Amino acid sequence: MSDLLSMKHFWNRTAKKFGGKEDYTPVLIPSSKGLLNWYVDFLQRTALNEILLQIVGKRVLDLGCGVGRWSARLAATGVHVIGLDLSREMVKEAKKRVAKKKLSNVDFVVASVHNLPFTSRTFDAILSVTVLQHLVDKLAFRLAVSDIIRVVEAEGEIVLLEYFNKKIDNYSHQFPTITHNYKEAFSIDKKLKLDEIRGVDLSLFLRPFNYIIKKHGRYRDQLEGKSLSIRYMVLSELFYFLASLACVLSLPFDLAFRDIFLRHSEHTIYVFRR
């Protein structure tokens, strides 16, 4: 699958360029400035915390672990974590970060999400944060779902935080993103039920900025070391200043209404249990 090779190359280069930065927490908007990364991370953490606390003391697979953001947080609660990522460079950076935190209950594996190198019924819980949404290829997605179901325990749970909009977007800073019908996809296991669904980010005032990033961002040029014009850099500083203000304005609405207006959330949490 050529898409996988392209993704691997992209994330390897991303890790090499931005992985060493201490403030490089989410990989969602790695080149951004201001509050954008904090905003994304904060909303995901507050939406997931209650769910993740319920799996303390169990064996967890962190799919698409990236630089180990969730692997480290889970391990800090006493969970034994296996972080898995397609990118060797991302895993290399994740290992450095957990070593700094002196976490011994985390291991990392370089592998694809649709060819998991584990025996059946290995994990009590599986976490996927903005990973399956990048599997635009239908076969790759079906294989991933099948393998996730295979490696989770009979009484285990699967927690997904994935894109919820209704179209494919060709992001300038990441790969094509698609909304899958997760309820339908995971229904191949008749005992697996969608037990919880929650909103994450309404991003009310931030949506115009997200659109600009998607359409006019120059992230790939930065990865390839291409020079950016002074005009672009000045406009970029102004853009991120205004986007930071939009984060501040959006946050109260996100926290108060993201579950009420679930269908308008940019991302959604799905919890499957048997």
CATH no. for residue 202?
3.40.50.150
Rounded mean pLDDT of 185-197? 95
The CA angle 32-167-13, to the nearest 5 degrees, is 35
pLDDT digits (tens, 9 = 90+) for 99-124: 999 999 999 999 999 899 999 999 99
Q: Find, among 92, 84, 153, the residue nearest to 114 by Cα.
A: 84
Rounded mean pLDDT of 165-184? 69
The confidence score (pLDDT) of residue 182 equals: 94
Burial 9-27 (b: 16+ CB within 10 A, else e): ebbbbbbebbbeeeebbbb
Residue 74: give the domain boundaries: 2-273
The confidence score (pLDDT) of residue 6 equals: 73
Rounded mean pLDDT of 240-245? 90
- Total domains in the chain come to 1
The confidence score (pLDDT) of residue 166 equals: 60
pLDDT digits (tens, 9 = 90+) for 221-234: 666 667 778 887 88
**Residue 178 pLDDT greater than 90, yes or no:** no
Q: Which of the two residues, 3 and 254, has the higher pLDDT score? A: 254
Question: What single-letter DSSP state applies at residue 110?
Answer: E
**Residue 19 pLDDT greater than 80, yes or no:** no
Question: What single-letter DSSP state applies at residue 165?
Answer: S
Q: What is the pTM of this model?
A: 0.90
**Residue 23 pLDDT greater than 90, yes or no:** no
The confidence score (pLDDT) of residue 5 equals: 63
The confidence score (pLDDT) of residue 172 equals: 46
User: What's the one-letter identity of residue 242?
Assistant: L
pLDDT digits (tens, 9 = 90+) for 127-174: 999 999 988 888 999 999 999 999 999 989 999 999 886 655 555 445
177 forms beta bridges with: 169
